[in-house]
């Protein structure tokens, strides 16, 4: 496609995404479904441009004030020019220059001049909000927790996340899968903390890999793999994954159980549970039972009360730990939505805890980086449920021989009790987990 046409498409997609009517990933996929003529390269370029605009929204709004021509076109130009993935660039020695050359083919003289001016802007010319690109309400809780690590966190949140795979240990060994991927031209290195993970360079088309199609690998962030490990579900046990969604953690837990016992995958979204099904078919697991529930007090929960060995509550949350992948969330969430999540999280955790038998293990997890959805929920649960003894996550991970376990569980505000993962510290999404044993 001609650079001018690519930029026109990018501007239109930016316009649609910035209406914030739907999550950015849903808007982008719908746009691609409706514009089937776009090739894979154009799609990758457009998606990265839009995500770069979302990551840098306050800075780009400042550089492209209203009245400087169609706003979304200016934002798309900046997104294109500053994308970490260097959209439009041909593979080669100077990819960044390739992207700039490509972009130059789409701009008029006035726009070229304006972009050159933007390139001259130095950090000290900018206000703090143009550098952190976070909504004001989010800055204070992050600064309070992170102190000196605030800017390193901001920096890592402003870059795209890598791609992690979990090796299905029921059927395959990590080293063998790594070698197989290398033969297929996919460079992978073992993850630092998760014993089952591989980190991939670039963005290979997984659907073309035999290892993927036979269920030897699944996409799962390294942090999410660690959360599933904390449950430590064993062969033959009765287990509930209460908020299973599309089953990222369900599949990891089921493999850990060696496809024995019974693993209920609950979720209120039948639609999400539907997308678990092809993944289940690939994985070869036969112990997983997806169950759509109406809400956290569904009658099925009463029927299973007191019967479970392990329960994972991977609660619905603001998702602010995943800003590397979902940068729109910082503009879609607010103090109100966070407070609503906190109320729902407490209710789900309380209800899910009834499923456990004495001696059973409860894990509460989120992909949020806000204490309101994490420590506050866990501490309130402990205070109200003295029959549940908090376990130290650092002890569990050490017992499971997870490398550097202490660095995962101690940090700006944790002292070993909770798991706290941070993009700038661990290279994972931001995650929290707390664990209890029922007396």
Ligand X SMILES: C[S@@+](CC[C@H](N)C(=O)[O-])C[C@H]1O[C@@H](n2cnc3c(N)ncnc32)[C@H](O)[C@@H]1O
Q: Interface with ligand X by CB under 6 A: which residues?
A: 224, 242-249, 266-269, 272, 293, 295-296, 314, 316, 348
82 or 426: whose CB is closer to ligand X? Answer: 426
18 or 342: whose CB is closer to ligand X? Answer: 342
37 or 294: whose CB is closer to ligand X? Answer: 294
Longest dimension (CA), the chain: 73
Determine the distance from the C-alpha atom of residue 230 to the mean position of all C-alpha atoms in its chain, rounded to a whole number.
Answer: 18
d(CA 280, CA 215): 9
102 or 381: whose CB is closer to ligand X? Answer: 381
248 or 427: whose CB is closer to ligand X? Answer: 248
Question: Would you say 299 is a known binding-site residue?
Answer: no
- Least Å distance between CB 320 and ligand X? 12
- Least Å distance between CB 431 and ligand X? 10
Question: Would you say 119 is a known binding-site residue?
Answer: no
- Least Å distance between CB 329 and ligand X? 12
268 or 410: whose CB is closer to ligand X? Answer: 268
- Least Å distance between CB 279 and ligand X? 10
Strands 288-292 and 262-267: parallel
- Least Å distance between CB 82 and ligand X? 30
Determine the distance from the C-alpha atom of residue 369 to the mean position of all C-alpha atoms in its chain, rounded to a whole number.
Answer: 12
The one catalytic residue among 10, 243, 367, 409: 367
Phi and psi torsions of 263, nearest 5°: -120, 105
- Least Å distance between CB 316 and ligand X? 4
Contact 371, 141 (CB under 8 A): yes
Q: Is 367 a catalytic residue?
A: yes
Tokens representing 61? 């709004």
86 or 314: whose CB is closer to ligand X? Answer: 314
d(CA 351, CA 301): 8
**Cα-Cα end-to-end distance for the chain:** 64
- Least Å distance between CB 251 and ligand X? 9
Strands 308-314 and 356-366: parallel
Known binding-site residues equal 267, 314
Known binding-site residues for S-adenosyl-L-methionine equal 267, 314
The catalytic site residues sit at 367
């Amino acid at each position: 496609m001609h650079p001018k046409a690519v930029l026109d498409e990018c501007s239109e997609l930016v316009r649609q995404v910035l209406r914030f009517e739907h999550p950015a990933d849903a808007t982008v996929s719908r746009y691609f479904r409706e514009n089937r003529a776009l090739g894979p390269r154009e799609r990758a370029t457009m998606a990265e441009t839009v995500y770069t605009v979302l990551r840098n929204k306050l800075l780009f709004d400042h550089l492209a004030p209203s009245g400087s021509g169609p706003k979304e076109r200016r934002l798309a130009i900046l997104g294109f020019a500053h994308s970490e993935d260097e959209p439009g660039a041909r593979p080669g020695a100077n990819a960044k220059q390739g992207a700039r050359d490509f972009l130059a083919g789409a701009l008029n003289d006035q726009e070229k001049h304006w972009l050159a001016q933007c390139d001259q802007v130095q950090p000290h010319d900018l206000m703090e909000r143009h550098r952190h690109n976070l909504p004001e309400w989010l800055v204070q809780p992050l600064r309070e927790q992170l102190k000196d690590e605030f800017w390193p966190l901001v920096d890592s949140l402003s870059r795209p996340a890598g791609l992690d795979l979990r090796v299905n240990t029921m059927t395959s060994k990590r080293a063998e899968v790594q070698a197989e991927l290398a033969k297929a031209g996919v460079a992978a290195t073992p993850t630092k903390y998760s014993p089952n993970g591989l980190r991939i360079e670039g963005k290979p088309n997984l659907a073309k890999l035999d290892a993927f199609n036979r269920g030897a690998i699944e996409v799962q962030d390294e942090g999410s793999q660690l959360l599933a490990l904390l449950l430590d579900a064993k062969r033959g046990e009765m287990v509930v994954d209460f908020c299973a969604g599309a089953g990222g953690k369900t599949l990891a837990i089921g493999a850990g159980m060696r496809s024995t016992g019974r693993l209920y995958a609950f979720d209120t979204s039948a639609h999400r549970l539907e997308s678990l099904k092809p993944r289940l078919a690939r994985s070869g697991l036969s112990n997983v039972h997806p169950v759509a529930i109406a809400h956290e007090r569904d009658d099925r929960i009463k029927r299973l009360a007191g019967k479970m060995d392990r329960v994972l509550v991977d609660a619905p949350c603001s998702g602010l730990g995943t800003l590397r992948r979902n940068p729109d969330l910082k503009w879609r969430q607010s103090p109100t939505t966070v407070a609503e999540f906190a109320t729902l999280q407490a209710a789900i955790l309380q209800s899910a805890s009834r499923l456990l038998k004495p001696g059973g293990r409860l894990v509460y997890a989120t992909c949020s980086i806000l204490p309101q959805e994490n420590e506050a929920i866990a501490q309130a649960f402990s205070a109200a449920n003295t029959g549940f003894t908090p376990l130290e996550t650092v002890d569990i991970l050490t017992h499971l021989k997870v490398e550097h376990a202490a660095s995962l569980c101690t940090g700006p505000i944790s002292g070993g009790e909770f798991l706290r993962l941070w993009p700038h510290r661990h290279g994972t999404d931001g995650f929290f987990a707390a664990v209890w044993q029922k007396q």
